[in-house]
Structure 1
Amino acid sequence: MINDNDIIDTLEELESFLLLVDNGGLGLANVTGVALATNNSNGRPFVAVLDEQHKLLLGRWVTQEVFDNGKDLVRSGAKKIH
């Protein structure tokens, strides 16, 4: 479930996406994790929203730069805006 036309190409966009997922803004149920991953067939990087069984609920393509530099952001989570 990845939209080919919707690519995250900055760390700011990644942070906004993570906040949206965290705040329930995408209407996804049973979200338990987010990870950076690569597509097995073509090696293309993406951010994956996962359920409790580690199944993909939603994915968004990311640029290689975001994949390389966004790992800490995904690991530690986006900063919450008060």
Structure 2
Amino acid sequence: MINNELSVIDSLEELEAFLLSVENGGLGLQSVEGVGMATNNADGRHFVAVFNDKQQLIYGRWVTNDVFENGKELVSKGPRHTH
């Protein structure tokens, strides 16, 4: 489920802010167990995916190709800043 079809993450700073929001519970998501980068099989678009404890997609945001290529380490290691 991609949330907010028109809101595309287009910078690493925005990706980091999104990850911090997920980490801090700012999106109100329940049972978050992980975050990863993914590609939509239907159209090849990239997105950042939030998974629950059953590895099901519970939230997603589209990302640009640049963010997909350059943000993989940020997603796998987590945000640099904490609040």
Runs of 5+ in structure 2 lacking a partner?
none
- Counterpart check, 1:61 vs 2:52: no
Q: 1:44 matched to which residue of 2?
A: 45
Q: Aligned residue pairs: how many? A: 82
Q: CA deviation at 1:4?
A: 1.4
**TM-score, normalization by structure 1:** 0.96
RMSD: 0.9
Q: CA deviation at 1:9?
A: 0.1
Runs of 5+ in structure 1 lacking a partner?
none
Moved over 2 A (4+): none
In 2: Cα distance, 1:46 partner to 1:8 partner = 9
**TM-score, normalization by structure 2:** 0.95
In 2: Cα distance, 1:68 partner to 1:34 partner = 16
More strand by share: 1
Q: Between the two proteins, what is the percent identity of the paired residues? A: 59
SS of equivalent to 1:36: strand
